[in-house]
Structure 1
Amino acid sequence: MPGMEDLVKLFNVWEIQLFVLLSFTLQIFLFFTGSLRRHSCSMLLRLSIWAAYLGADFVAVYTLGLISRLGDITTEMHTPGEISPLAFFWAPFLLIHIGGQDTITAFAMEDNNLWLRHLLNLVVQSVLAIYVFWKSIGRHSPVLIVSGVFVFVVGIIKYAERTWSLKSGCYKIFESSSGHHYKKLPHHDSAEKMDKDGYDSIVYITLCSMPRAHNIICGHDILSSEEDIDLVSSWWSIGDDSKKVIKIVGIILSVMYADLYTKALVVRTRSAIILRCISQMSAVVAFAMFFASDKQRYSKTDIAITYSLFWGGFFLELCAMFIFMMSPWTWAWLKVRKWDKLAMLSWLIFSSDLGWSEKKQCFVRSMGQYNYSSWMTGNTRARTFSQGVMAMVKWFAGLVHVEKKKIFWMSKLLDTECVDVDEFTMECIAGQIRLFRDVNSLVGYIRLSMLWNNLLASIPDFGIGIVALHVLTEKHLSEVHEANTAGVGMNMMEVCRKLSRYMMYLLATHPSMLPLSASPEAIFLKDPIELEFIVHGVLGLVLPSNRKKLLEELASVWARLLIYAAGKSRPERHMEQLSTGGEFITFVWLLMSSHGLGDSQLKRIGLTNTNPQERSLQQVYAFPDHEADSLEDAANSSEEPSSSEGEIGRVRERGEING
């Protein structure tokens, strides 16, 4: 086919130019979309960023290899059919592209763990770029060669920044650090003029709490210094203002995401700022020398591509400076040095819709949902396109007699959906956490009906208990909806439904975040007769006849199950989920930790206390068994201070960290 042969020849002629432009296009895409996943659960967006993230490195390295193979670079005019002699000048630009953008250095935590591989690649690709330059010496004007050397300096610095960021984001290194990058913070006297109820005060308190948050996330000993104790007190002082605490936790998660998956942690260090200034000055010098060099021997197309790389790089650097000014750390740094005008500019950018505005400052804005009925029966009405596709897959699988266990992995992908985390769900979780926090006081300790404790004590596995309670919840919500009972709040129904399906979503897609003794496949693919026996036992419970009261109890049950699971989860799992938009259980886990709850905190949360040998002075229960014993314990403990200061005082006297 002559047409196809001509197309192949044309591609061979312009191959390097096309790949250089493609590499730069991918960098622009990553810069403007890399931070969008912080607030999005869109699978299409994540797939696009993932493809661009992998493709950007591949295209840049491949193009650099193509350039290094050019043996016929001459100083002659570029004519159709010949290789561009200006291609050598693009090699350092490809190093800049491999260095990545400020908004994304790692797609997942595994990328951070491979920082040594990136360090090796830095050496190899740098040597390859030097080889390209060595081949070009004597074939181009000295001015152009020197201009390329300055671009090479920019590329090395960019690549080193990325490797440094990956190393800093590696969880093992992050965990072993002392948190010194969070301790150099402004003192409290810089916030005297702030409105105590304003957003700037919330941001300030968050930054002051970052050493405490670092200890929580890394699993370090809690309350290890006087400074940490003061920070805990600042948390407790606003502990009953749920909206403020929720905003603080959201900002902390946003800061942690930026520090682990972008260059934010590196670029605010003094060394990185100096290197970036050198990089920017080198880029300006390189552009000036290229502009002044003799370019008549080169193709106008190649010159236009080179200018595009320069101007595009300047544009991205300008946007990176905008991102730097948007950082809360930049605002705090300017504020403490009393550079009011610059601090005001930084705050305007930070609090705008383009930055971290107050109205959208909750890191986890959506939560996954999974309905067990859609897997077991397939009769549930498809709410999304992916669920409709899964329904067709299950129908076809049944038609050709394919075992269900072979398509369960597809159900985990297609049967899930995302819903907004509404204010009522947040308040339900925050209210239960406050109850656990105040468990030492008679006022704060509120119990549910005994049937929930007996039910959970009789179920052999936490995962099976979630499935059984989920079926019960769905059945009851369906009955309430059909009866259209007056006086039953729709908000409470939504809370029950969202929390129930969210726990099922975690069980199906993120089982490592739950305290399970069996895999999700072992639960979902369990013997139907055995599972049906457990579920029917739950459905046979005698529930309160007052539907409104039952809904309130169901909401409390699911909230406490989520809190219990969050308290048992591991910090590294939460940090991994930040790269995909974060999980609601991460938000709950950090909110609990701010109140001293969880396995690594002063108070652990158990599931039930039916076994007396498992009782502990430092452990509270989501579903206590003996009301009289619990009241007696609460009365005895009420003689001691019930506030956080009292608990801290007792820890000081004992000289202990954990009970």
Structure 2
Amino acid sequence: MVDPIPDRLKRIYGEWNIRGAILFSLGLQIFLVLFASWRKRTSNKFMIFLLWSCYLLADTVAVFAIGHIASSQGNGNPSDPPDTGNLLVFWSPFLLLHLGGPDTITAFALEDNELWVRHLLSLASQVLPALYLFILTFGGNSLILPTFLLFLAGCIKYLERTYALYLASMDQFRESTLQKPDAGPNYAKLMKEYGSKKEAKLPTKIIIVGQPDRITYQRFIRSTPRLTDLQVLKKAHHFFDIFKGLIGDLNISFPHRSESRDFFTKLFPDEALQVLEVELNFLYEVLFTKAVVVHSKSGYISRLVSSLAVVAGLAIFVFHVKKHDRYGNFDVGVTYALLVGAILLDSIAFFKAVFSNWTVVALTKSNYRESLPWWQSWAIRSRLKRWSKTISVYNVIGYCLKTRENWIRRIIYETGLGDNFMDVILYVKGREFTMDLWEFIFGELMKKSTLAEDDLDTANTIYAARGNFILQEKKWDSWRDSLKPYITDVGYDESLLMWHIATELLFNTNPNKPNLDDIEANNNINNNNNNSNEINNKNNEASLLKVSTQKKYCKILSDYMLYLLIMQPTMMAAVAGNGKLRFLDTCEEAKRFFDGEEIRSAAAHEKACRNILDWPTDVKPIHVKGDASKSVLFDASRLAKELNKLDEEERWELLSQVWVELVSYAAGHCRATAHAQQLSSGGELLTFVWLLMSHFGLTDKFQLPKSHLRAKLIVGK
């Protein structure tokens, strides 16, 4: 029988399977230590896929190499130098180092943390083969000492990773955020004393006295016109310690709510964003990296021991190679690459740890001061961006037109390959996150926080609002009854889709439609006008600019929320309802309508919107279609017609405020773990809104104010 695999290929595989796997494993470790942190800074699907692939391959390749080293003992190639087997055994601890992974990534998803037990068992299953090789060659292995040192370093690294996964698992993370147990005043002792005094016929009574709140805070008073980098860092870490309990679904104390509101209501919007960025970065590093393990006393000790072990192993190997020439030159080169690579990885990890936010916070806690040495200040100022700063947008009208443009796209859609992954590639766009959009959202939420103050009922009303709270304002009295059914009489997903389509129709049928790519260039108004006509022109220009800006906000938030509803179903699961089915039904009706109107190109986007808006909708669609279809296309057209009755400035003012409520409703009602998961994929604007709402006190995760009354025993004479 003819062997389908030539002997030459078998020989090449036999010589290179271990060497190639080890070098590939080293390359993966270097790539991950340098680029793993990019996943918090990019929403690029290709980059995230590449990092995910390397993360999975790193373990697979290391396990493959350890297994082949173990099976190769006693089956060496006769042409190999005499001590090649001992050198292979010396390589096995490096693979334990690689299985320990870099500090920059322990988990790719939150679910990975829940598998810490599996990693613990995997530790045992990989250490045992390495230990077997160590014992097998103990007597005649001249590299036994450096092998032991590297074995020790590898075990430490693997334990670090397993412990980091354990600490980030949801049960343990929740446990770590709990307050210390508090039994309260000693009721049993008080009642015993009270009873004994009564039995002694002494005049005794119990009075209730007040006590100060044990959780106190110092009100924030600005000492500088702007927050310094150090103040941003310290405040972010302080609030991270308080609000991280939200991830474990725990409530925050009322005094902490007051402290947070007091601080954030005194910030400029960009300062608040900086604090939130650093706070979420702390959360990302706790959940997805080794930060908690590394920045601890045990972490410092273990890191010192493992690094010294690697350096000592290199020194011993250099001395040994000079004294004995019993290894192949290439294998010696591979060994040097592994040793130097291990030291390089440790050095990179060391510098990352020294210049990390955790180190700066630890140093300022141990030696409080308002200024830092130059190297620490540089570490804060020179930081890379902490999230992608992009907003993904998706548009129902554009999608319906583009899926019909050519047969390739139609095949992709009809075969189901377009679901989510292909749709993201073909139809989702990324827009740059702008500070003016953040200032608008921040201002709207601050106004609501000011209305709520310490009134939890009002705060809960705002938290539950999805467009209806803004309609309570007196200026919208005339429109409340006609617009409220599109908010309160339907589910959130249906409401969001209707307001999205209505926004799109109005945006594209207005003669003064702004260009989203160029509008920023027109944001300056000439302030040098002196006469009355020029002042009037200035006011008109300011009014037009306000309308254009609000249109831009509405368009971006509308497309962004549709992207989340359709493309991020896991994140939006708590509020999505039948959103995907409703979206698909709406698309089917839109395509049928476009076919009838002979609108067959994405270039006819404005015409499509105009035709939908102009189509007669005197009878409610549900009276014609019943509930057979969940399409909201012409319901949205009816909503757009109602909004068109307002003058332009009022229309876009109302729409922009409704969209902020729709965004904040989704942000507040999505699961906290869904927000946390997005931190490893570039982050989401919705997560920043969620955390800002929490800091403003606009959430249901606060404890009711506690009574601080205490009983006191009084004995009369």
Does the alignment reach a TM-score above 0.5?
Answer: yes
Cα gap change, 1:232 to 1:3, in 2 (>3 Å): closer
User: Which residue of the partner structure matches residue 652 of structure 2?
Assistant: 551
Residue in 1 aligned with 2:519?
Answer: none
Counterpart in 1 of 2:64? 62
Query: Partner residue of 1:422?
Result: 434
- The 1:269–1:195 alpha-carbon spacing in structure 2 relative to 1, beyond 3 Å, is farther
Change (3 A) 1:19 1:194: farther
Would you say the 8 A contact 2:62–2:99 is kept in 1? yes
- Whether the aligned pair in 2 keeps the contact of 1:334 and 1:340 (CA below 8 Å) is no
Which whole-Å deviations, capped at 9, do the CAs of 1:477-508 have from their partners, x for residues lacking one?
Answer: 11235667972554332211110011101100
The answer to whether the 8 Å contact 1:513/1:565 transfers is no
2 CA distance for matches of 1:652 and 1:240? 28
Residue pair 1:369, 1:505 contacting (<8 A) in 2 also: yes
1:372 aligns with 2:372: no
1:483–1:406 distance in 2 versus 1, CA, 3 Å: closer
Cα displacement (A) at 1:378: 2.3
How is 1:23-34 mapped onto 2 (pairs within 5 angstroms)? 23-34=25-36
Query: Is the CA contact (8 Å cut-off) linking 2:86 and 2:137 kept in structure 1?
Result: no
Q: Is the 2:561–2:663 contact (alpha carbons within 8 Å) kept by the matching residues of 1?
A: yes
> What is the identity, as a one-letter code, of the residue corresponding to 1:21?
L
- AA aligned to 1:163 is T
Match for residue 217 of structure 1?
247
Residue in structure 1 matched with residue 669 of structure 2 by the alignment: 568
Confirm or deny that 1:494 pairs with 2:522. no
Report 1 or 2 for greater relative contact order, CA contacts < 8 Å, sequence distance ≥ 6: 2
Per-residue CA shift, 1:438-483, capped at 9, x if unaligned? 22489x9963733475143465221121111111111111123566
Distance (Å, rounded) in 1 between the aligned partners of 2:345 and 2:584: 50
CA distance in 2, matches of 1:129, 1:342: 49
CA deviations over 1:312-366 (Å, ceiling 9, x no partner)? 111111111111112222112223434989952552442243x35xxx45x4511
* CA-CA distance at 1:419 after TM superposition: 1.4
Matched-pair contact (CA < 8 Å) for 2:357–2:380: no
Q: Deviations over 1:237-281 (max 9, x none)?
A: x44522221111111101100111011111111111111111112
Match of 2:411 among 380, 396, 401: 396
Three-state SS of the structure 1 residue aligned to 2:95 is: helix
Show the counterpart of 2:183.
none
Contact 2:257 2:702 in 1 (8 A): no
Map of 1:136 onto structure 2: 137
8 Å CA contact retained: 2:449, 2:698: yes
Is the CA contact (8 Å cut-off) linking 1:429 and 1:559 kept in structure 2? yes
C-alpha separation in 1, matches of 2:418 and 2:291? 43
Name the structure 1 match of 2:107. Answer: 106
Sequence identity of aligned pairs in percent? 27
* Match of residue 279 from structure 2: 252
Contact 1:370–1:504 (CA under 8 A) maintained in structure 2: yes
2: distance between equivalents of 1:575 and 1:587?
11
1:323 counterpart = 2:352: yes
Aligned to 2:144: 145
CA–CA distance in structure 2, aligned partners of residues 140 and 470 of structure 1: 71
Distance across 1 between alignment mates of 2:374 and 2:305: 25
Alignment partner, residue 634 of structure 1 = none
Q: Any idea what the Cα deviations from partners look like across 1:352-388, whole Å, max 9, x if unmatched? A: 43x35xxx45x451122111123333279xxxxxxx9
Partner of 2:22: 20
Q: 1:377 to 1:404 in 2, by over 3 A?
A: farther
Q: Give the distance between the partners of 1:341 and 1:541, measured in 2 at CA.
A: 56
Indicate how the Cα distance of structure 1 residues 418 and 278 shifts in structure 2: closer, same or farther if over 3 A, else same.
Answer: same
Q: Which moved more, 1:509-518 or 1:403-412?
A: 403-412
Tell me how far 1:520 sits from its aligned partner: 3.3
Opposite residue 87 of structure 1, the aligned amino acid is L
Q: Which runs of 4+ in 1 moved over 4 A?
A: 1-5, 73-77, 82-85, 191-196, 339-343, 403-409, 481-486, 652-655
Match of residue 522, structure 1, among 559, 581, 584: 581
Instruction: State the shift of 1:544 in Å.
Output: 4.2
Output the CA distance in 2 between the equivalents of 1:296 and 1:339: 57
CA contact (8 A) 1:99 1:160 kept: yes
The equivalent of 2:561 in structure 1 is 503
Deviations 1:95-147 (A, max 9, x none): 00000001111111111111110000001100011112222223321xx1111
Aligned twin of 1:541: 642
Confirm whether residue 198 of structure 1 aligns to residue 228 of structure 2. yes
The CA deviation at 1:192 is 11
Pairing 1:42-121 to 2, within 5 Å after superposition:
42-72=44-74, 78=80, 85-121=86-122
Q: How many pairs were matched up?
A: 578
Q: What's the CA shift for 1:539?
A: 3.1
Q: Distance in 2 between matches of 1:250 and 1:537?
A: 40
CA contact (8 A) 2:232 2:275 kept: yes
Partner residue, 2:213? none
SS at match of 2:177: coil
* 2:391 match: secondary structure: strand
The 3-state SS of whatever aligns with 1:298 is: coil
Q: SS at the partner of 2:701?
A: coil
Match of 1:411 in 2: 423
Q: Within the alignment, does 1:277 sit opposite 2:323 as a pair?
A: no
Kindly report which structure 2 residues correspond to 1:568-647, keeping only aligned pairs within 5 A, or say none.
568-601=669-702
Q: Which moved more, 1:571-580 or 1:413-422?
A: 413-422
Instruction: Give the match for residue 612 of structure 2.
Output: none
Cα distance, 1:343–1:66 mapped onto 2, change above 3 Å: farther
Check 1:114–1:469 CA distance in 2 against 1; reply closer, same or farther (3 A cut): same
Q: Distance in 1 between matches of 2:687 and 2:312?
A: 47
- DSSP-derived class of the 2:251 partner: coil
Q: 2 CA distance for matches of 1:404 and 1:71?
A: 50
Contact 1:209 1:231 in 2 (8 A): no
Residue 300 of structure 1, aligned match among 309, 325, 329: 329
Secondary structure class of the residue paired with 1:506: helix
Amino acid at match of 1:165: A
| Distance in 2 separating the partners of 1:8 and 1:73 | 15
Q: Counterpart of 1:310?
A: 339
Q: Give the secondary structure class of the aligned counterpart of 1:40.
A: coil
Larger mean Cα displacement after TM superposition, 414-423 or 191-200: 191-200
Return the alpha-carbon distance in structure 2 between the equivalents of residues 192 and 536 of structure 1: 50
TM-score, normalized by length of structure 2?
0.74
- Does the aligned pair in 2 maintain the 1:367–1:583 contact within 8 Å? yes
Distance 1:652 1:180 in 2: 15
Partner of 1:525, secondary structure, is: helix
Q: Which residue of 1 aligns with 2:195?
A: none
TM-score, length-scaled by structure 1: 0.80
The CA deviation at 1:13 is 1.2
- Alignment partners' CA distance in 1, 2:379 and 2:557: 33
What is the rounded CA distance, in whole Å, between the counterparts of 2:223 and 2:656 in structure 1?
A: 41
- 2:402 is paired with a residue whose SS is coil
1:300 positional shift: 1.0
Q: Distance in 1 between matches of 2:672 and 2:370?
A: 39
Would the aligned equivalents of 2:152 and 2:306 in 1 still touch at CA under 8 Å?
yes
Cα RMSD for the two superposed structures: 3.5
What letter is aligned with 2:68? Answer: L
Contact in 2 for aligned 1:472/1:539 (Cα 8 Å): yes
- For 2:658, the aligned partner's letter is V
